[in-house]
Structure 1
Amino acid sequence: MSLGQQLKTARLHANLTQEEVAEKIGVTRQSVSNWENEKNYPDIRSVIDLSNLYQISLDQLMKGDEKLINHYQESSNVVRSNKHLFKIILISLTIILALFILHHLMPNHFEWLLAIFIIMVITAGIIIHEIIQRI
């Protein structure tokens, strides 16, 4: 049974309205409706709150709904990808700043400017590659 069907069945079994459920877990009634009608999925915090409210184990709520499991897996991958992109940008900016400082300490060395330019081009390429992978 899908998560949406389980949520609706559990709500009706608990004799609660969508409005009452929404109030108890701190979301809108529209959110509860969307979850039950499988228009979208609740975030993990809401799934835990619903599990507690309906006294249904998370295992029972989530297992069996392959689309839900794929949704959370994809969400997790986006977070990891964003962290990876942030690290690339931070490391690149640090290297560029260090080379820029070295260039000012030794202004007669053109190779520092060339190194800064090359690293900026490589960084831009990596960032563009990461963004294209997400599309």
Structure 2
Amino acid sequence: MLGEKLKAQRMSLGLTQQEVADHLHVSRQTISNWEVGRNFPDIPMILSISDYYNISLDDLLKGDERFMDKMKKDAELVKRTNRRKIFDGVFIVLLSLTVLFAFIVSRIPDLPNQKLWGMLIVGIVFSFSIIRFFVVIPKDDKVSGKYAPLIIPKSFGVGWAINPYHPLGKVLLIGIFVAIEVLIFLG
């Protein structure tokens, strides 16, 4: 629908795809992709297109379900990214304080239950990282949610992770946590 409107407006103004592309500083192929509905322009580009074609945003965007779905997904991604940044900042502060606390505790020779302090520190860091996953990744996410496989790509960054939404993933994560705690206790 949006693509059809873009093409109709371009043609009514007697412009070629290349002329529009040159004005908007994109490739001709990008204009073609928009017009056939292969992909959509982002919001800043929609504003530029609206100005260039002299068509209101309301007229341009209304009625295109696919575009509106894309906008909703983009908004959710921005929210998730912002939540991740907040959690990552808190996690870095928490990790720094934990390392500082562990350093101080390790320098106190007569501290009772010194191994338990290490276990507590690992428990706090592990718990926070799991909570972060559940807050940042929606349960219904197809890539990392409850329908995703046991091993998933990291939500942000490079690498792989165990999916805590997966039933076996929960067992593995708890097992890893218990194994680390036992190693600290026995070490």
Q: Give 1:55-134 correspondences, 5 Å limit.
A: 55-107=54-106, 108=108, 109=111, 110=114, 111-129=116-134, 130-131=136-137, 133=139, 134=141
Equivalent residue for 2:15? 16
Percentage of matched positions with identical amino acids: 29
Q: How far, CA to CA, are the matches of 1:88 and 1:102 in structure 2? A: 20
Deviation at 1:106, TM superposition (A): 3.0
Deviation at 1:116, TM superposition (A): 2.1
Structure 1 residues 91 and 64: alpha-carbon distance in aligned structure 2, compared to 1, 3 A threshold: same
Superposition deviation, residue 105 in structure 1:
2.2
| 8 Å contact kept, 1:3–1:68 | yes
Kindly tell me the number of residue pairs found equivalent between the two proteins.
Answer: 134
Of stretches 5-14 and 77-86 in structure 1, the one that deviates more from structure 2 is: 77-86
**For 2:124 and 2:85, how far apart are their aligned partners in 1?**
16
CA distance in structure 2 between the aligned counterparts of 1:74 and 1:112, rounded to whole angstroms? 43
Q: Which residue of 1 aligns with 2:185?
A: none
- Indicate the structure with greater helix content: 1
Structure 2 unpaired stretches of 5+ = 144-187
Alignment check: 8 A CA contact 1:96 1:116 kept: no
Whole-Å separation in 2 of the counterparts to 1:114 and 1:87: 26
RCO greater where, 1 or 2, for CA within 8 Å and sep 6 or more? 1
Q: Is residue 54 of structure 1 aligned with residue 59 of structure 2? A: no
Instruction: Give unmatched runs, 5+ long, in structure 1.
Output: none
Give, as a single letter, the amino acid of the residue that structure 2 aligns with 1:122. S
> Following TM superposition, by how much is the alpha carbon of 1:85 offset from its aligned partner in structure 2, in angstroms?
1.7
> How large is the RMSD of aligned CA atoms in angstroms?
1.7
TM-score (ref. length: structure 1): 0.89
